Amino acid sequence: MASTLTDTDRPRYQVIADDLMAEITAGKFSVGSMLPTEMELCRRYDVSRYTVREALRQLRELGMVQMRRGSGTRVLSTQPEQAYVQSVSALSELLRYPGTSFTVMKSGRIALDAEQAEILHARPGDDWFHISGVRRSDSANTPICWQDIYVLPQFEDAARQVPMDHRAVHQIIEQRHGEIIGQAQLDMFASHIDEDLATQLEVPPDTAAMTIIRRYTDHNGRLFETTRSIHPEGRFVYSLDLQRDWRTRD
């Protein structure tokens, strides 16, 4: 018999993730044991496989389980990690923040100043739409980063959907305007939290941080979006799952 989900205020995958987390923390599934298969969870909750996978990804982002294709989902910890963990096994996962929400602090059209132009690899004075704010973990309500999102003015409507739409901005742009990523460039480097951002991120000024800049161009090489994320130390972890390509060269 399928389990009944009564929480209608949240996405179904989040309700399932919370249900499984409660069972793990209660000891129903011990460290090293396997969770039910995706198909078993589909039948249990009467949902699609996509919904189940999103729920399992939530647990993976918390460092509680390990997902391996063909091997199932293994329990790694009975308690969620304090830091937000982003596990990455595909390009689409590298470019988004699942299990988070975004609060807008400022938005509007701007002419790039010298610092912004350097971040975007654009020219000072160019017109862009800029939206900035704090991104928080849904599970712990902890600020995981400050984000500055820049898009070309014609994509302003897509950027304004960020607080309501959990997809990455480039995915919203693709759905609304048909603009597809031709190339994504990722820069990561050590930095510090200045006094202005310290209050927003709930950390002391000059706290060590990791800054990530993502630049997206179309197939013609035109830059249409840049996002800068500033993560305080201990709040964010990248977990990469890479597999060697064993195909024989001709």
The reported pLDDT for the residue numbered 5 is 47
Report residue 224 as tokens: 């249409």
Report residue 50 as tokens: 């996509």
Whole-angstrom distance, CA of residue 176 vs CA of residue 161: 11
Q: 3-class DSSP state for residue 21?
A: helix
Is the CB of residue 127 less than 8 Å from the CB of residue 153?
yes
Same domain, 100 and 72: no
The reported pLDDT for the residue numbered 7 is 46
Q: Does residue 5 fall inside a structural domain?
A: no
Averaged over successive runs of 10 residues, the pLDDT of the chain (250 residues) comes to 49 87 90 92 91 86 82 85 52 60 94 93 94 86 92 96 86 90 87 92 92 91 94 75 50
Same domain, 69 and 147: no
Same domain, 29 and 63: yes
Same domain, 123 and 231: yes
Same domain, 28 and 70: yes
Same domain, 61 and 105: no
Whole-angstrom distance, CA of residue 24 vs CA of residue 6: 20
Q: Which of 60, 81, 102 is a domain's end point?
A: 81
Half-sphere exposure of 140 (CA within 13 A, CB side): 16
Whole-angstrom distance, CA of residue 151 vs CA of residue 112: 12
Q: Which of 58, 81, 104 is a domain's end point?
A: 81
SS (H, E, C) 144-175: EEEEEEEECHHHHHHHCCCCCCCCCHHHHHHH
Containing structural domain, residue 179: 92-237
Whole-angstrom distance, CA of residue 59 vs CA of residue 66: 9
Same domain, 163 and 208: yes
| Residue in the block written with tokens 């910890």 | 77
Same domain, 19 and 60: yes
- The structure's pTM equals 0.62
Same domain, 66 and 97: no
Whole-angstrom distance, CA of residue 133 vs CA of residue 148: 7
Same domain, 30 and 116: no
Q: Does residue 19 fall inside a structural domain?
A: yes
Report residue 107 as tokens: 């938005």
The reported pLDDT for the residue numbered 10 is 66
Q: What is the CATH number of the domain that holds 76?
A: 1.10.10.10
Same domain, 61 and 142: no
Whole-angstrom distance, CA of residue 65 vs CA of residue 75: 4
The reported pLDDT for the residue numbered 71 is 81
Same domain, 68 and 124: no
The reported pLDDT for the residue numbered 94 is 54
Nearest to 138 by CA among 8, 228, 15, 3: 15
Residues with Cβ within 8 Å of 115's Cβ and at least 6 positions away in sequence, in order, are none
Question: How many domains in the chain?
Answer: 2
The reported pLDDT for the residue numbered 83 is 53
